[in-house]
Chain A
Amino acid sequence: DAKTTQPPSMDCAEGRAANLPCNHSTISGNEYVYWYRQIHSQGPQYIIHGLKNNETNEMASLIITEDRKSSTLILPHATLRDTAVYYCIVRADTGTASKLTFGTGTRLQVTL
C-alpha cells in the first residue's frame, strides 16, 4: 500500500469548511483513497473514498488532484462533533480481505 502523509493537527472554526490534506505521491493506478475518522475512545468510522474523480456524500467531499498524488477531505460546515482524528488510507481494491494500515492521522479540533 502506498504511504500517506498528513499534518498532525488542524483547527477549524465551527460553521466553516474544514479542509484536510493528504499526500500520497507513490499511489498506484489501481489504488483508492479512503478516509476514516476516529472520535475519542471510539472505533474508526468510514467517511468516503475515491479513485480519481471527486466524490461527495452526506458527510464530506473528496477532492483528488489530477495526478492523484494528493487529496483533500472537505467537511463543508464543521461542527463540534466533527472534532476527531482523520485518517487517509491508500489501498487497492483487490477483492480479498487484508489489513488496513492506519497512520497517525490529522487531529482536527473544531472550536466555537
Chain B
Amino acid sequence: DGGITQSPKYLFRKEGQNVTLSCEQNLNHDAMYWYRQDPGQGLRLIYYSQIVNDFQKGDIAEGYSVSREKKESFPLTVTSAQKNPTAFYLCASSSRTGRPYGYTFGSGTRLTVV
C-alpha cells in the first residue's frame, strides 16, 4: 500500500547534537512537508518542497534544515541551533496540485532532547 514512512517513532538525543528525521513516501507525490507539534498545540510548518531540489521555509524554519535529492525522500535535520527541539514531528505529502484533501501524513517522530 502507498503511504508515508517516518522513522524512528521515538528518538532521544543529547542537547547540542544534530539529529536527522527520516521521511519516505511511495505515493509519487511531488510536494512534501514537515510540521512540528507541541503539546496541546496545532501543527506549525517548518519547511516544504514542491519539487526535487527545491524547498521553501515555513513559519518556524530557524534551527532546521532539509534536503530534497529524491522525489521519495525529504529528511529533516534538527540542528543544535534549534533552541527547543523536543516535539512531535510530522511529515506529509501531496500531489503538485496540492488540493488539501489530498494531503497524506506520516505517523510522526517524537523527538526528546535531554
Given contacts A43-B92, A97-B95, A99-B45, are A32 and B100 in contact (CB under 8 A)?
yes
Contact A99 B108 (CB under 8 A): no
Complex Cα gap A97–B95 (Å): 7
B103 sits at the interface (CB 8 A): yes
* Beta-carbon nearest neighbor of A94 in chain B: B98
B44 partner residues in chain A, CB cutoff 8 A: 102
Contact A42 B98 (CB under 8 A): no
B70 sits at the interface (CB 8 A): no
Secondary structure class of chain A's binding surface, majority of residues: loop
List CB contacts (< 8 Å) of A1-43 with chain B: 32, 34, 41-43
Contact B42 A46 (CB under 8 A): no
Name the contact of A42 in the complex, choosing from B45, B50, B107 (C-beta under 8 A): B107
Q: How large is the interface on A (under 10, 10 to 19, 20 to 34, 35 or more residues)?
A: 20 to 34
A41 partner residues in chain B, CB cutoff 8 A: 88, 108, 110
Interface size on B, residues (CB 8 A): 33
Contact A43 B90 (CB under 8 A): yes
Contact B96 A97 (CB under 8 A): yes
Q: How far is the CB of A17 from chain B (nearest CB, A)?
A: 23
Name the contact of B43 in the complex, choosing from A34, A44, A46, A98 (C-beta under 8 A): A44
Complex Cα gap A49–B100 (Å): 9
Contact B31 A97 (CB under 8 A): yes
A103 partner residues in chain B, CB cutoff 8 A: 42
A44 partner residues in chain B, CB cutoff 8 A: 43, 90, 103, 105
Other A-B pairs beyond A43-B106, A97-B97, 5, CB < 8 Å: A41-B110, A44-B43, A97-B31, A97-B50, A97-B94
A residues near B, CB below 8 A?
32, 34, 41-46, 49, 87, 89, 91, 93-105
